[in-house]
Amino acid sequence: MKKFILKLLPACLRRKSHTIHILRLEGAIVAERSLGGKAINGKSLEPLLKKAFRKNVSAVALAINCPGGSPVQSAIIASRIRALSAEHKIPVYAFCEDVAASGGYWLACAADEIYADENSIVGSIGVIAGGFGFPQAMKKLGVERRVHTSGESKSTNDPFKPEKPEDVKKLKAMLEDMHESFKAMVRARREGKLKDTKELFSGAYWTGRKSLDLGLIDGLGHLEPVMRHKFGDKIDLVEIEAPKGWGLKRLGFSAATELPEAVLNTLETRALWQRFGL
């Protein structure tokens, strides 16, 4: 009887409503928190990922606004997204907002399809290491640095000593290893879609429109219109958010002693954004 009644209902009333969970990946990818909490890492995302991939969810949409950061955390998060997607059989769609570059693009590749605005910044498939050197400042201040090690490679790239060619060589070799890992991930996730060009893995970045030509994304579009196109008008867009507290806890810190390190992380995050003029 129930089936008979359903058949009599207009198609628009019989149509299933789809729940789409939205997970915002905003900020730099760092192992530790930055001041203000705008940072991405596997530990902080884990409870949100578990909430996003639930029974009766039709899809998970990643809203990405990320200039990059830690290759390790990028790999951890992307792998976790793929594992949860496979476990719950839920498709994942990525939407690049202002920036999905370097580690931000790594996260986008965890999705089954990637979309961007035509003016989004996408790509930067490379690895970078930066720092500062202070040997001349130490000399001018009359400060003597005393370091003792039990291994010849224990104090490589010491910022208070002149840079050594052998240290730079070792660092570049490590960066090359990380770059190969990044490239392998992109090739695997974008198999059959990438345009064959040397420039693709040079660390360069492009607008969304050019990224579409290169095969880095699947289309131009924004989250809600694309989701409606794929699942129909009867969709329920639900943002997955972390609970908010007050004071230091609201910023993501359990004690004031964590603040100095957070300030340094914030400066590093600011530098990542400035690479893209933001």
**237-265 tens-digit pLDDT:** 999 987 765 444 444 444 444 445 555 55
Length of the chain equals 278
Domain boundaries, the chain: 11-126+194-274
Residue 40 forms beta bridges with which residues? 29
Q: How far apart are CA 93 and CA 22, in angstroms?
A: 10
Convert 51-90 to b/e letters by CB count within 10 Å (16 or more is b).
Answer: ebbeeebbbbbbbbbbbbbbbebbbbbbebbbebbeeeeb
Q: Does domain 11-126+194-274 have CATH number 3.90.226.10?
A: yes
Q: pLDDT, tens digit, for every residue of 130-185?
A: 555 556 666 676 676 666 666 565 556 566 666 667 766 676 677 777 888 888 99
Q: Which helix (H) or strand (E) segment is 236 a member of?
A: strand 235-239
> How does residue 16 score in pLDDT terms, banded at 50, 70 and 90?
confident
| Nearest to 109, CA basis, from 126, 128, 96, 127 | 96
Residues 122, 97: Cα–Cα separation, whole Å: 9
Cα-trace Rg, the chain: 23
DSSP state of 210: H
